[in-house]
């Protein structure tokens, strides 16, 4: 796994649990708990301590994801993902449309409103520019998969001149992160301390209890997505280590894309192959 153990200076600022995004424990937390009581309850956050834990955890995961995207390359990722399946690797490589990983998707513990409000507070403090955001309802297929209402947001961040895209999933269900990382958050470690204590690959490994965590790789067209999906059906039938996340190609008009997701169980990695170049006259939800 590609790994850069020295995190750029833009993430060197100290951000404590009680200072995440400029939180005032007596005012801002009360505001959030009042306005987001229903979603926080569905997520298992029922007091101030739970909310602070969720905020701190989400910051660490967001930084780990951005850090991962800065160093990961699709050719290496695909070589590892399709190890032993050279024909499938060649088929995918022929239609990859970008020389970087398009995005990294993961579940957040905070309600989406809280996460986005926090972003505009903590990002400037860490020298990160918010390039853009887009928010929309998750596809019906995804909501059926997770058994709960879910919405998504695309967030583009400029980190030291490199733009990375995070894909957030706010799922209205209890979310219990890996206790090894969560215990460190509860112990009062700051984001800076947590990042300093963990290498990139260790931070990413700690998020693998999140069955939403996936890498997005863009392909040239919707037809390519369909062809890959059909090929992956054959692959999963021959090798049970691979698993398709849905029986059919998934389209989301709000997202403006169509995709298929394939998981490699042994590697603990899931990849979404997507295209934004879709003629919607040819497709229905």
pLDDT tens per residue across span 142-181: 899 889 999 999 999 998 888 999 999 999 998 765 566 5
Burial 198-220 (b: 16+ CB within 10 A, else e): bbbeebbbbbebbebbbbbbbbe
User: Could you tell me which of 204, 205, 138 has the C-alpha nearest to residue 173?
Assistant: 138
Q: What is the pTM of this model?
A: 0.80
Residue 13 predicted with pLDDT over 70: no
Residue 104 predicted with pLDDT over 90: yes
- Beta carbons of 235 and 244 less than 8 angstroms apart: no
pLDDT for res 150: 94
When comparing pLDDT for 199 and 173, which is higher?
Answer: 173
pLDDT for res 37: 87
Neighbours of 73 (CB within 10 A): 12
Residue 110 predicted with pLDDT over 80: yes
User: Could you tell me which of 253, 218, 203 has the C-alpha nearest to residue 103?
Assistant: 218
Residue 3 predicted with pLDDT over 70: no
User: Could you tell me which of 83, 89, 94, 24 has the C-alpha nearest to residue 52?
Assistant: 24
pLDDT for res 180: 61
When comparing pLDDT for 41 and 177, which is higher?
Answer: 41
Q: What's the DSSP call for residue 138?
A: P
pLDDT for res 188: 54
Residue 281 predicted with pLDDT over 50: no
Look over the chain and give the mean of its residue pLDDT values, rounded to a whole number: 80
Helices 74-81 and 86-93 pack at an angle, to 10 degrees, of: 150
Burial 242-261 (b: 16+ CB within 10 A, else e): beebeeebbbbeebebbbbb
pLDDT for res 174: 84
Confidence band (pLDDT; 50, 70, 90) for 10? very low
Residue 98 predicted with pLDDT over 80: yes
Residue 115 predicted with pLDDT over 60: yes
Question: Would you kindly state where each structural domain of the chain is located, as residue ranges?
Answer: 9-282
Mean pLDDT of all residues in 131-152: 90
pLDDT tens per residue across span 120-130: 888 888 788 99
- Lowest mean pLDDT of 143-157, 213-227, 265-279, name the range: 265-279
Q: What's the DSSP call for residue 219?
A: B
């Amino acid at each position: 796994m590609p790994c850069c153990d020295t995190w750029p200076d833009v993430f060197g600022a100290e951000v404590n649990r009680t200072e995440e995004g400029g939180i005032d424990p007596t005012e801002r937390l009360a505001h959030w708990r009042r306005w987001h009581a229903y979603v926080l309850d569905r997520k298992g956050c029922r007091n101030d301590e739970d909310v602070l834990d969720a905020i701190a955890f989400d910051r660490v995961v967001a930084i780990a994801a951005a850090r991962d995207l800065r160093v990961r390359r699709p050719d290496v990722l695909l070589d590892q993902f399709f190890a032993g399946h050279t024909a499938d690797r060649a088929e995918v490589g022929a239609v990859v449309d970008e020389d970087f990983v398009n995005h990294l998707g993961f579940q957040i513990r905070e309600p989406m409103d809280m996460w986005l409000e926090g972003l505009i507070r903590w990002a400037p403090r860490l020298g990160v520019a918010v390039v853009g955001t887009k928010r929309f309802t998750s596809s019906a297929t995804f909501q059926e998969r997770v058994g709960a209402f879910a919405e998504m947001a695309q967030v583009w961040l400029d980190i030291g001149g490199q733009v990375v895209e995070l894909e957030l999933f706010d799922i209205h269900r209890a979310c219990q992160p890996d206790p090894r990382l969560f215990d460190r958050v509860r112990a009062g470690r700051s984001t800076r301390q947590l990042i300093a204590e963990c290498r990139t690959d260790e931070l990413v490994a700690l998020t693998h209890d999140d069955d939403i965590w996936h890498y997005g790789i863009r392909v040239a067209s919707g037809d390519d997505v369909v062809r890959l999906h059909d090929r992956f059906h054959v692959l999963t039938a021959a090798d049970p280590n691979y698993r398709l996340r849905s029986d059919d190609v998934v389209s989301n008009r709000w997202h403006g894309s169509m995709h298929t997701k394939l998981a490699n169980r042994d590697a603990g990695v899931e990849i979404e192959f997507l295209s934004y170049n879709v003629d919607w006259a040819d497709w229905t939800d």
